[in-house]
């Protein structure tokens, strides 16, 4: 077995121009490099990234996380078999010593974990999606959930809802799904632009619409779908929405601030249920706050048999929170973000537990991304069935979409398609 002989780390910049951690793991037979993403709409229950504070980069520097890799994590990793992902990841987490990886920083720990996965693929001369795959092998190309319009923390806009996405459920192949999304996005740009200037673009490449409520955004999306020659329908071009409700929820008053209106839990549930009834929605992400377990349960009873209820902030790629959600029946799908979990192994554990429970996993990028395409390979390796990367814009997004195009040419796993959606 090929042992790890060296680990290095340094500070680079992500898609928002903020510092992040890049790690390289070396073996005698190959090296692997991984760059850690970061979120804007981060949940309270995520693994904790480490930032330097102070004046440099507005406090967002990561020199301390880089030092943690070099000083504390390299000695743990060196000498271990690079193909023992689980063993290395557990040793890294043990060295940190906290459940949320807050001592050394989840960005330090995940940096090493991801670089180990890539080094293992290089050392064994296999593509990453094969190296990461459990027996009997990698799965299908995932159905993409593609951002078209953005608000919330991803955009400087009056629209509190974070993302409005399309799901090309009528596509029979992955390349066809991308062609559909390209046409819809182009049509949306024409609708939102003024003829001379394109519309503003948010963190994940979605356009920022000049609207303040969700219904207007859904109608804009429906118009763009029709302009592109498709039908806004559950079996042609369906919709998805990332509400990110935690970020406009007032816990003291227990109210959700939708524009100029603050509504209680019941009214918020009514609002989401009306969207499910009025539009071809197949996935609703974070429709209620991250600790509003009662509200999630009530919403699941009401619409959980008709739509994918996707937990992000609620579940935070955390196995304990996922277990509680499965037991309570409060959702039927989980967003899987490796940097929420802190290691590749922890992320896979959540993904596999979701599949065992009959839930749908959705592998996801973050708003602060890099051109690292590891999550594309992870989604195929574990047969996740769905992926959420962002819009068809910006190189950090396209690196992952293009990686899936490459895998599609070399893998015979097929395309997951609409069958991957819950329920």
Residue of 46, 49, 337, 369 marked catalytic: 337
Q: Has 409 been labeled as part of a binding site?
A: no
CA-CA distance, 113 to 117, in Å (whole number)? Answer: 6
To the question of whether residue 337 is assigned a binding role by annotation, the answer is yes
> According to the annotation, is 176 in a ligand binding site?
no
Using alpha carbons, list the distances in angstroms from residue 226 to 185, 221, 229, 271, 379.
Answer: 11, 9, 5, 25, 30
Distances in Å between the alpha carbon of 140 and those of 81, 303, 311, 384? 28, 28, 23, 8
**Cα–Cα distance measured from residue 286 to residue 14, given in angstroms and rounded to the nearest whole number:** 25
In which element (H, E) is residue 389 found? Answer: strand 386-390
Pair 21, 9: CB distance under 8 Å: yes
Residue 285 marked as a ligand binder: yes
Distance CA 378, CA 210 (A): 36
Close Cβ partners of 409 (under 8 Å, ≥ 6 residues apart):
none
Alpha-carbon distance of 204 to 345, in angstroms, equals: 26
Nearest to 22 by CA among 70, 79, 80: 70
Ligand-binding site membership of 190 (annotated): no
- Residue 204 annotated among the catalytic residues of the structure: yes
Q: 400: annotated binding-site residue?
A: no
Catalytic residue among 204, 290, 369, 396: 204
Cα distance between residue 23 and residue 318, in whole Å: 24
For residue 337, indicate whether it is catalytic: yes
CA 191 to chain centre: 27
Nearest residue to 106 via CA among 389, 411, 366: 366
Q: Is 366 annotated as a binding residue?
A: yes
Question: What span, in angstroms and rounded, lies between the C-alpha atoms of 117 and 200?
Answer: 37
* 242 is known to lie in a ligand binding site: yes
Known binding site: residues?
162, 242, 285, 312, 337, 366-367, 388
Known binding site for Mg(2+): residues?
242, 285, 312
Known binding site for (2R)-2-phosphoglycerate: residues?
162, 337, 366-367, 388
Q: Which residues are catalytic, by number? A: 204, 337
């Amino acid at each position: 077995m090929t042992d790890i002989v060296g680990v290095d780390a340094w500070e680079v910049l992500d898609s928002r121009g903020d510092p992040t951690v890049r790690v390289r793991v070396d073996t005698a037979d190959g090296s692997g490099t991984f760059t850690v993403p970061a979120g804007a709409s981060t949940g309270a229950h995520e693994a904790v990234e480490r930032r330097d504070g102070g004046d440099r980069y507005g406090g967002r520097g990561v020199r301390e996380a880089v030092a943690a890799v070099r000083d504390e994590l390299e000695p743990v990793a060196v000498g271990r078999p690079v193909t023992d992902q689980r063993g290395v990841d557990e040793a890294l987490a043990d060295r940190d010593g906290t459940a949320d990886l807050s001592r050394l920083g989840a960005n330090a720990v995940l940096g090493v974990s991801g670089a180990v996965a890539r080094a293992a693929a290089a050392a064994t001369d296999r593509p990453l999606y094969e190296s990461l795959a459990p027996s009997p092998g990698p799965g299908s190309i995932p159905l993409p959930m593609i951002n078209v319009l953005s608000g919330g923390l991803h955009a400087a806009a009056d629209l509190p809802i974070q993302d409005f996405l399309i799901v090309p459920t009528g596509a029979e192949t992955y390349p066809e799904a991308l062609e559909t999304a390209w046409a819809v996005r182009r049509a949306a740009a024409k609708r939102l632009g003024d003829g001379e200037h394109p519309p503003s673009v948010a963190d994940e490449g979605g356009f920022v619409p000049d609207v303040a409520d969700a219904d207007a955004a859904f109608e804009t999306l429906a118009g763009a779908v029709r302009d592109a020659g498709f039908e806004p329908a559950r079996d042609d071009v369906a919709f998805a929405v990332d509400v990110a409700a935690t970020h406009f929820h007032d816990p003291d008053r227990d109210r959700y601030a939708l524009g100029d209106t603050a509504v209680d839990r019941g009214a918020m549930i009514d609002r989401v249920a009306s969207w499910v009834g009025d539009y071809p929605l197949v996935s609703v992400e974070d429709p209620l706050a991250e600790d509003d377990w009662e509200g999630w349960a009530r919403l699941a009873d009401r619409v959980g048999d008709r739509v994918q209820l996707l937990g992000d902030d609620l579940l935070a790629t955390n196995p304990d929170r996922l277990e509680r959600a499965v037991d309570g029946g409060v959702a039927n799908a989980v967003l899987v973000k490796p940097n929420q979990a802190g290691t590749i192994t922890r992320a896979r554990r959540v993904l596999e537990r979701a599949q065992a429970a009959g839930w749908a996993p959705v592998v996801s990028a973050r708003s602060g991304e890099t051109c690292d395409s590891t999550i594309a390979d992870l989604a195929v390796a574990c047969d996740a069935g769905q992926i959420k990367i962002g819009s068809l814009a910006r190189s950090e997004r396209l690196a992952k979409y293009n990686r899936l195009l490459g895998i599609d040419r070399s893998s015979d796993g097929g395309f997951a398609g609409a069958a991957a959606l819950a329920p």
